[in-house]
Structure 1
């Protein structure tokens, strides 16, 4: 075939569940000179990057903190594969799409999975998780989603970690939509394994998964009786990322590493608490504006996530038509994820988009489109149907 024209993507304001728009500083960093993956200059920067990740996770006491050369789901699977062997018990809090994915991955690794469930939009009570732990004292891992991207629910992780301090069971947390977006204290909360991504609250391109192992989790991973796969073997990862001289493992995505380093530098300059506050302010503004439109949020108010707001689609409104019209205006928002999801929109304000100006721009466009697509939401009962 003849060579096609260069791809010219349209401009979008990405206000869905992620990816978000990339921080301009990260895009500029990716224009810097390419280095080889065995270049000592790159290796020095990798040490700095891992130190910045420790600060972002508040994981100074963690045994290992580094970014996988993979997406967030790979970080999820790395935790299961590293910490659980076939036939061992895993307790999973399931109140949305990604809790269910953890359970599915654990089953694929031949674990005995105990699901502790709650309806979409509700949190899984810690008391129920602890009851399951009491009933399954041999459980090797208890996994929860700190920030459920499919529903906008934030789990009370600090309280769960405090209750599990003396347990032999390890605590795993999905932090895909919480790292850099809401308060997260790996050390203080007693988390044993956490994973995240780069394309949400950090504001970098997708393609890497920051992970953290406590000393107990690292020991568990290194003392497995069955071998772990090559790509995500903890010893092979640390031999390249944190030990010097570095030992070749795989060819890492160097330009993505530049971008991640740059957004973590920006996070350090802004200050972690300031970033959390900015995310909280933007989320609160959007949620206030959505309420003024007569729309109902999916998440319980006391467990509402700041970076991601799930909004129920009112009865009589074509949710996909609203999304399509917003996209025609250059704004992307998300819909419900998976066949069990209630009819909803998912609105995200993450990374460089986490500010009140973007919240107002999104809310203004949303109000205009709702008025054009259907009758006012406040004049109709809300839908109970699912997509």
Structure 2
């Protein structure tokens, strides 16, 4: 059964990306695999504005693995802007590796202020890095990445960004946003399958990481050094690399701007249809709403696990974390190859499921 995924990743993919998984058997040391890795690195850097200034490093793992590779290699004290579940995870990763952390905690639905970040940096000269989540998946909130990057650069600190659900669906530029390190993965707005963690790093920062890694497998410097030689030091998910290679090719062919516009249009269509169906959208502050997540008020008395199961029976996958559901919210993602007809279908089914549940519970 073909299932439409309205969860925030993994996402629906195109037929040719799925077909690339059937490429056959290769060693991760074969020339074809090295060439796919090279194309991926060059393509991702071209799409994110990092050609000539940044390097792209590939790991077998998730977006969290990429974030962990970065954080476990850093020296200094991190200011982590905590505005949601994934930012808190970055702080916890740092603490696990005994990297000193200062938290700047912001309400998840309140805009992050670049001025507030600047004030904390000015008050504490021991802070060396600022860590932010570009797009918080559990709320759909964006941070003002360009503004934060400017205040960080002005103070000679380094900006570390989790853009796992940001890149591809939103404006992003490694140089213009003054980003030193960034993590992402293929299975959200890059429209590929899970299995590869991607680190984008300023090339001039990477040599200084030699010997700093607190892990063996996620040694960012070593993985970068070997990648420069056209090697993967450890076994990679070869077929996943071929799928990602195809997905990056599709991304560049579509165009960075047009993909962002497609995602924005899909989110707008989702919000219109939900509103027409009588569901209440959680309105986000001006300029803070992302293009891939729509947060919805859970109707009072609705049993969300029952909704999820009923929607699954109809061919739709939904997911929302427990904190959101306990707060009376759930979210719908419009990532991947989701189109307007798919959105119409999921909203129609959701309306019917909610009506059935309330009728049965009366």
Q: Same fold by TM (over 0.5)?
A: yes
Q: 2:333 aligns with which of 348, 362, 379?
A: 348
SS of 2:337's partner is helix
SS of 1:75's partner is helix
TM-score when normalising by structure 2: 0.92
Q: How does 1:1-387 map to 2 (within 5 A)?
A: 10-84=1-75, 88-222=76-210, 226-244=212-230, 246=231, 249-292=233-276, 293-297=278-282, 299-338=284-323, 342-353=327-338, 355-374=339-358
SS of 1:352's partner is coil
SS of 1:83's partner is coil
Q: Deviations over 1:18-66 (max 9, x none)?
A: 1112322111011113221222232223211210111232211333213
Structure 1, unaligned stretches of length 5 or more?
Answer: 1-9, 376-387
Asked whether the 8 Å contact 1:192–1:216 carries over to 2, the reply is: no
Q: State the match for 1:380 in structure 2.
A: none
Asked whether the 8 Å contact 1:117–1:124 carries over to 2, the reply is: no
Q: Deviations over 1:92-150 (max 9, x none)?
A: 11111101101111111112211111222233222222211112222121111101011
Asked whether the 8 Å contact 1:154–1:305 carries over to 2, the reply is: yes
SS of 1:300's partner is coil
Asked whether the 8 Å contact 2:180–2:202 carries over to 1, the reply is: yes
User: C-alpha distance in 2, partners of 1:340/1:104?
Assistant: 23
Structure 1 residues 51 and 100, CA gap change in structure 2 (3 angstroms): same
- Aligned residues between the structures: 358
Asked whether the 8 Å contact 1:121–1:298 carries over to 2, the reply is: no
User: C-alpha distance in 2, partners of 1:31/1:99?
Assistant: 36
Asked whether the 8 Å contact 2:206–2:221 carries over to 1, the reply is: no
User: C-alpha distance in 2, partners of 1:91/1:337?
Assistant: 27
The CA deviation at 1:241 is: 2.5
* Aligned-pair Cα RMSD in Å: 2.0
Asked whether the 8 Å contact 1:61–1:214 carries over to 2, the reply is: no
User: C-alpha distance in 1, partners of 2:355/2:325?
Assistant: 28
User: C-alpha distance in 1, partners of 2:7/2:100?
Assistant: 34
User: C-alpha distance in 2, partners of 1:115/1:235?
Assistant: 27
Q: Deviations over 1:208-259 (max 9, x none)?
A: 112100135324423x6x4542212234212432324x3x511111101000
SS of 2:200's partner is strand
The CA deviation at 1:340 is: 9.3
Q: Deviations over 1:312-331 (max 9, x none)?
A: 21322222222222111111
SS of 1:335's partner is coil
Structure 2, unaligned stretches of length 5 or more?
Answer: none
The CA deviation at 1:342 is: 2.1
The CA deviation at 1:72 is: 0.7
